[in-house]
C-alpha cells in the first residue's frame, strides 16, 4: 500500500556555448552576492580585516531605522547639536555643516549621513539617541553581533580613524543585506543623488551623493562609499536589473576611479555570468500528494519560503527539484503538517532540503468507507 514516490517537478539542462573566464578585482578584499538566493558569486579574502571608513554609516543608519520601526524614534524628533558634532563640520571632513545649538530633525540628520556622508550628522544622531557617541557605538557593535558580524567592532558612528573600528567585507555584506531587507522604504534614500541642508545663518548647502555608481545609469541604487588613507577607497554597492539584485563590497581600491571601475566590473560579472532561477514562491501551492483513507484523495502542499538558486552560465548544468514522501499519506492530516521533503540537486549534488507542508486539514473517512477502500485494495490492488 505504501511506496516511495519521487516526483520530478523541474529539470533544467543549460547548454551554454560561451565559456567565461575568471575575473580578478583590483582590490585588497571583495565579495559579491546574489541577494535573493544568498549565494556568493565572487570573493577575494572576504574575512580580511579592514577599516570600514564611511561604510560604518550603514550601521549608524540601521540603529536609527530600527528605533523608528519600533516606535521609539520619529523622523520628526529633533536633536540639539553639540560642540563635539560641530567640530566635524570643518574643512577636511565629510560634513553636513550643522552649527552648535541647531535643532535638527532625525530625518535631516539621516539624509545628511546617507547622501552627504556627514560625520557631524553621525555624531549628532548618536548623541541624540544614546547620550554619547561611545554609548551609541556599543549599540552598533551589539547589533553587529546580532547580525552575525563576528569580525566587526564599532568604536564611533562615522568611521573616522580608529584602530578599534574594524570589520570585513563579508560582515559589511551582512549589514547591507539587513538594511535592504528590513528597511526597504528607508533604503531608497541611499539612491538619492543630492541633499540640500537649509542651514542656520547661511544659504542652503546642496551636496551630491559620493557613490559614483549612481551616476552610471546601469541600475545601481546604493549603498555607501568610504575612504581612509590607511585603507584607501572602499564601496558597498548594489544593483537591480530585471527584478534581480546583486550586492558587492570591496575595500583597498587604489583610486576613486578604480573603485568605480572595479565595483562596476564585479557587479557586471554577476549579471552576465549567472542566471537566477526561482524554484518556489511561498505564496503559491507547490504541488499535491496522494492521500490514503481520507475524505479527499489528494492534498495540496506548499513550502513556507521563497527559494531561489543560481545557475552558472559557463557550463552545461543540471538542476533537479523533486518531491520526496513516503505515501500515500494516511489521513487524518493536519493543516501545516510536514508530509515530505523538497530536494534540490544541482550538478548531481544535493544543495538543500525543504519541508513540504499540507495546505489544509484532511479528515479520515468513516469506518464503512475505510472497510470498502481496504477491500478494493485487496481485490484490485493500488487503484
- Structural domain contains residue 346: yes
Domain shared by 177 and 297, yes or no: no
> 379: which residues sit within 8 A by CB, 6+ positions away?
none
Whole-number pLDDT of residue 374: 61
Domain shared by 52 and 9, yes or no: no
> Distance between CA 330 and CA 322 in Å, rounded?
21
232-241 and 244-253 beta bridge pairing: antiparallel
Nearest by Cα to 355 from 313, 293, 310, 301: 301
Q: Residues 84-122, buried b or exposed e (16+ Cβ, 10 A)?
A: ebbebbeeeebbbbbeeebebebbbbbbbbbbbbbbbbb
Domain shared by 209 and 294, yes or no: no
Number of other residues whose CB lies within 10 A of the CB of residue 132: 13
Would you state the cell numbers that stand for residue 18, as one nine-digit string?
Answer: 560561451
Domain shared by 122 and 215, yes or no: yes
Q: 38-91, pLDDT tens digit by residue?
A: 999 999 999 999 999 999 999 999 999 999 999 999 999 999 999 999 988 765
Please tell me whether residue 201 adopts helix, strand or coil conformation. coil
- Structural domain contains residue 83: yes
Domain shared by 8 and 52, yes or no: no
Q: 362-374, pLDDT tens digit by residue?
A: 999 875 555 555 6
Domain shared by 96 and 169, yes or no: yes
Q: For residue 75, what is the DSSP state?
A: T
Whole-number pLDDT of residue 375: 57
Please tell me whether residue 282 adopts helix, strand or coil conformation. coil
- Structural domain contains residue 286: yes
pTM of the model: 0.87
Whole-number pLDDT of residue 18: 30
Backbone φ and ψ for 151, nearest 5 degrees, come out as: -115, 30
Domain shared by 206 and 314, yes or no: no
Average pLDDT estimate for 318-342: 90
Give DSSP secondary structure letters for 100-118. Answer: TT-EEEHHHHHHHHHTT--
Nearest by Cα to 152 from 49, 23, 299: 49
pLDDT band for position 346 (cuts 50, 70, 90): confident
Give DSSP secondary structure letters for 2-56. Answer: -EEEEEEEEEEEE---SPPPP---SSSEEEEEETTT--EEEEESTT--B--GGGH
Whole-number pLDDT of residue 373: 56
93 or 56, greater pLDDT: 56
- Structural domain contains residue 135: yes
- Active-site residues, by number, are 54, 57, 117
- Structural domain contains residue 360: yes
Whole-number pLDDT of residue 347: 81
> Distance between CA 84 and CA 158 in Å, rounded?
13
Please tell me whether residue 286 adopts helix, strand or coil conformation. coil
Domain shared by 109 and 196, yes or no: yes
Domain boundary among 223, 240, 272: 223
Q: For residue 363, what is the DSSP state?
A: P
> Distance between CA 56 and CA 15 in Å, rounded?
43
> Distance between CA 32 and CA 238 in Å, rounded?
10
pLDDT band for position 13 (cuts 50, 70, 90): very low
Per the DSSP assignment, residues forming a β-bridge with 33 are: 40, 247
317-327 and 194-197 beta bridge pairing: unpaired
Q: 233-274, pLDDT tens digit by residue?
A: 999 999 999 889 999 999 999 999 999 999 999 999 999 999
Whole-number pLDDT of residue 92: 65
pLDDT at 165 exceeding the cut of 70:
yes
> Distance between CA 3 and CA 318 in Å, rounded?
27
Domain shared by 182 and 111, yes or no: yes
Domain boundary among 177, 193, 223: 223
Would you state the cell numbers that stand for residue 201, as one nine-digit string?
Answer: 545663518
pLDDT at 199 exceeding the cut of 50:
yes
Which range, of 31-35, 305-309, 347-351, averages the lowest pLDDT? 347-351
Q: Determine contact, residues 32/49, Cβ cutoff 8 Å.
A: no
Q: What is the residue whose three cell numbers read 560641530? A: 86
| Structural domain boundaries enclosing 296 | 3-14+280-380
Whole-number pLDDT of residue 200: 78
Whole-number pLDDT of residue 378: 56
Q: What percent of the chain has pLDDT over 70?
A: 88
Torsion sign over Cα 245, 248, 254, 255: positive
In this structure, what CATH number is given to the domain that contains residue 323?
A: 2.60.410.10
∠ CA 251-270-58, nearest 5°, is 40
Number of domains in the chain: 2
SS (H, E, C) 315-347: CCEEEEEEEEEEECEECCECCCCEEEEEEEEEC
pLDDT band for position 331 (cuts 50, 70, 90): very high
Nearest by Cα to 373 from 315, 297, 282, 261: 297
Mean pLDDT of the chain: 89
Amino acid at each position: 500500500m505504501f511506496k516511495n514516490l519521487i516526483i520530478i517537478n523541474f529539470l533544467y539542462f543549460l547548454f551554454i556555448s560561451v565559456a567565461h573566464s575568471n575575473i580578478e578585482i583590483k582590490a585588497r578584499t571583495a565579495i559579491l552576492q546574489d541577494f535573493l538566493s544568498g549565494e556568493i558569486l565572487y570573493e577575494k579574502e572576504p574575512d580580511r580585516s579592514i577599516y570600514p571608513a564611511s561604510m560604518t554609516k550603514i550601521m549608524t543608519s540601521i540603529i536609527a531605522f530600527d528605533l523608528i520601526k519600533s516606535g521609539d524614534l520619529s523622523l520628526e524628533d529633533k536633536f540639539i547639536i553639540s560642540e563635539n558634532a560641530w567640530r566635524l563640520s570643518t574643512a577636511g571632513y565629510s560634513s553636513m555643516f550643522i552649527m552648535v545649538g541647531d535643532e535638527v530633525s532625525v530625518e535631516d540628520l539621516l539624509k545628511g549621513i546617507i547622501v552627504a556622508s556627514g560625520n557631524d550628522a553621525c555624531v549628532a544622531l548618536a548623541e541624540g539617541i544614546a547620550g554619547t557617541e561611545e554609548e551609541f557605538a556599543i549599540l552598533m557593535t551589539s547589533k553587529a553581533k546580532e547580525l552575525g558580524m563576528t569580525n566587526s567592532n564599532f568604536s564611533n558612528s562615522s568611521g573616522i580613524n580608529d584602530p578599534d573600528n574594524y570589520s570585513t567585507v563579508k560582515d559589511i555584506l551582512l549589514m547591507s543585506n539587513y538594511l535592504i531587507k528590513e528597511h526597504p522604504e528607508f533604503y531608497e534614500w541611499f539612491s538619492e543623488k543630492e541633499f540640500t541642508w537649509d542651514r542656520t545663518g547661511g544659504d542652503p548647502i546642496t551636496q551630491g551623493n559620493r557613490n559614483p555608481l549612481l551616476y552610471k545609469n546601469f541600475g545601481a541604487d546604493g549603498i555607501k562609499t568610504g575612504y581612509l588613507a590607511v585603507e584607501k577607497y572602499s564601496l558597498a554597492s548594489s544593483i537591480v536589473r530585471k527584478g534581480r539584485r546583486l550586492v558587492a563590497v570591496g575595500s583597498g581600491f587604489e583610486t576613486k576611479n578604480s573603485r568605480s571601475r572595479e565595483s562596476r566590473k564585479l557587479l557586471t560579472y554577476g549579471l552576465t555570468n549567472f542566471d537566477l532561477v526561482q524554484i518556489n514562491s511561498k505564496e503559491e501551492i507547490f504541488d499535491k500528494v496522494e492521500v490514503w483513507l481520507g475524505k479527499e484523495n489528494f492534498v495540496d502542499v506548499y513550502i513556507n519560503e521563497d527559494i531561489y538558486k543560481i545557475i552558472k552560465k559557463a557550463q552545461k548544468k543540471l538542476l533537479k527539484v523533486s518531491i520526496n514522501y513516503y505515501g500515500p499519506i494516511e489521513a487524518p492530516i493536519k493543516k501545516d503538517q510536514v508530509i515530505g521533503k523538497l530536494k534540490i540537486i544541482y550538478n548531481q549534488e544535493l544543495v538543500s532540503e525543504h519541508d513540504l507542508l499540507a495546505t489544509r486539514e484532511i479528515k479520515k473517512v468513516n469506518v464503512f468507507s475505510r472497510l470498502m477502500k481496504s477491500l478494493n485494495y485487496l481485490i484490485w490492488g493500488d487503484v
